[in-house]
Amino acid sequence: MITINLATPECTAPLARRCSRCGGEGPFKKDRKRADGLSSWCKACNARQSNTMTPEQRAKARVRSAAWAEAHREESRARARKWIADNPVRNRATGAAYRARNPDAWIRRKYGMTQADLDALLAKQGGCCAICRNALKREGRGINVDHDHVTGAVRGLLCPACNKGLGLFRDSIESLSNAQAYLRAASDAGPVGLMPGGRTCRT
């Protein structure tokens, strides 16, 4: 006697993703709120919905989005760090392409300046670092925008070395004055410099 197994084997082929609104196969927008990272609506349906929203609905949507982002800030950052670690080449390429399309995006975002503002400030300084007076190079990170870390106000343009030096001195005028006095005393004392007298350590 021959036994025929009529049970249907479990299908392992992935089902095509469908838009829950129009039934189409996409493409789909990214949606970090969903488990699979994609919107349930396709891009076309999302665009149509966005175009029909009233100003009040747009405002409410922005509030909801901001609230979600604040509640999941660390989760989003961890996911972004993981993606960068897993895709270093693609991340560099994406960053380079973005900078090519938006050359002044970083100064606009961080300092509220445009490329024209940067060029004007550089010309005002004669193309030199505001501290050491060496010529500033536009290539790479040759120009550093120095700013007040309390108020955020831009103070000038520095070379990488001077900008790092100010940071290591924590923008302390007193510490910089002490460094100046120390160097002068060491120069006057000869090969073995002596700490200027009359100084007491902080407690």
What per-residue confidence (pLDDT) applies to 197? Answer: 55
Helix axis angle for 55-71 and 73-86, nearest 10°, is 70
Residues 130 and 179 reside in one and the same domain: yes
Does a structural domain hold residue 168? yes
**28 burial type by CB count under 10 A (0-12 exposed, 13-18 middle, 19+ buried):** buried
Where is the domain boundary, 57, 79, 100? 100
Q: Determine the structural domain holding residue 138 and report its residue range.
A: 105-189
Does a structural domain hold residue 21? no
What per-residue confidence (pLDDT) applies to 195? Answer: 52
What per-residue confidence (pLDDT) applies to 95? Answer: 87
- Residues of the chain where predicted confidence (pLDDT) is lower than 50: 1-14, 193
Structure-block tokens of residue 72? 């999941």
Does a structural domain hold residue 52? yes
Structure-block tokens of residue 42? 């396709």
Residues 117 and 132 reside in one and the same domain: yes
Residues 68 and 93 reside in one and the same domain: yes
pLDDT digits (tens, 9 = 90+) for 168-188: 999 999 999 999 999 888 887
Cβ–Cβ < 8 Å for 79, 72: no
What per-residue confidence (pLDDT) applies to 201? Answer: 58
Predicted model pTM: 0.51
What per-residue confidence (pLDDT) applies to 40? Answer: 87
